[in-house]
Amino acid sequence: MGVFSGHWPSESELDKLRQKVAEMSGRDAQEVRVVVSPYRICPLGAHIDHQGGTVSAMTINRGILLGFVPSNDTQVTLQSGQFKGEVRFRVDEVQLPKHISKTNGLNEQIDSSKPQEECKWGNYARGAIYALQNKGNPLKTGITGFICGSEGLDSSGLSSSAAVGIAYLLAFESANGLVVCPTENIEYDRQIENEYLGLKNGILDQSAILLSSYGCLTCMNCKISHSVENSDNYRPHVQTIKHKLIRPPEVQNNHVGELGNAYKILLAFSGLKQALTTNPGYNRRVAECQEAAKLLLQASGNEEVEPVLSNVEPEVFEAHKSKLEPDLAKRAEHYFSENERVLKGLEAWASGNLKEFGELITASGLSSIQNYECGCEPLIQLYEILLKAPGVLGARFSGAGFRGCCLAFVDADRAEEAAMFVKNEYCKLQPELASHINQGPAVLICDAGDCARVI
């Protein structure tokens, strides 16, 4: 268990990936294309996206790599660095959502010669074909590909599923000569997750991965605008997120980004693979936010409006919060204070004030614990250790806050020292969990990343 930093993807990683695909396909390594699909973090904006709040995001220089060559036919052949088995199908096969396949007894998508769980990892690739077919894209060329995540990295809380879906979309589009804009790919990845796989999540992750730009903070207004497509492929409620890139002052002036050289991003892993908490989970919190919104809207005479907290004015909350039960009042307090922290954080980033930016991240973490009441003892301990680490500017949970990791912004000159401090202190408090982090680093030192792309 250790500390790791470095450039990603490195030339050696790219060379190994290209060589692997060359061996699989019998083609020259120089023909191999690589999709870089980064993981994302959200420094500010915890647990408010589902209420239509404003959030901030940026990618990191770790994520998913997919090396591939276009096939000479419609065949898709995939292998994985993390999972066993080989996935094979054709791009001209009709891909049905998984629940439809099951109810109709159509199991031809699963290779019965291998254990089923070994090939489930291929569902994201099939889902990408499903999304592209839905829009009527002509798909005539398959790929031979090898996909892998950043080595030894537990990606809990870092949006790995969205990164995988986007990687496959970009590869199939590249192989078939399709030019697709980022906003279209956000919708395609939503279809992979919501429609094909049946997952109930929003579009924050894929938006961050596709819209971010190196050195910038991506600001996203999650107050969803819905549109309805009237076509043979009827898909109601296509979602869009309004976004803008907040550039630090040095980037705006086209100089080498001094702000980018001033900080590093720490990811500290807890060793938790599942929630170790008696607190109600994610869906319960969403319901509590909606109930608070409903009561506040009723109190202000706006009960016909959709019950999400973004439809409640802050002054309405202040005037009527005494009417809420204590738990509901806490959830609403977190929403309104976090939304305010995001707006202040965007100003701090734009002016290059990392100290204030970090303080807001820490306040976000505290509100997540006290008002949103997520987290469990190991994660809270990790958060508190990060705040004591040398050079740390601010810290909070990454992801839902019931497992996974914490993130911190740290003075670049003290990143190694801080990472070692966190690793040692966490081992003292949680030796058993720390021992589970045996294949990768306990603390990862990262830089900001760029958007998903083909290189």
Catalytic residue among 49, 154, 189, 205: 205
Q: How many CB atoms lie within 10 A of CB 35?
A: 26
CA dist., res. 208 & res. 43, Å (int): 12
Tokens 């894929």 sit at which residue? 206
Burial of 326 (0-12, 13-18, 19+ CB in 10 A): exposed
398 vs 40: CA distance, rounded Å:
10
Which residues are CB-neighbours of 239 under 8 A, at least 6 positions away? 187, 190, 202, 203, 224, 225, 226
Contact indicator for 59, 36 with CB cutoff of 8 Å: no
Q: Specify the DSSP element, H or E, that contains 268.
A: strand 263-269
Neighbours of 114 (CB within 10 A): 13
327 is catalytic: no
For residue 299, CA distances in Å to 308, 312, 337 come to: 14, 11, 20
**Cα 149–208–276 angle (5° rounding)?**
60
Residues with active-site annotation? 205
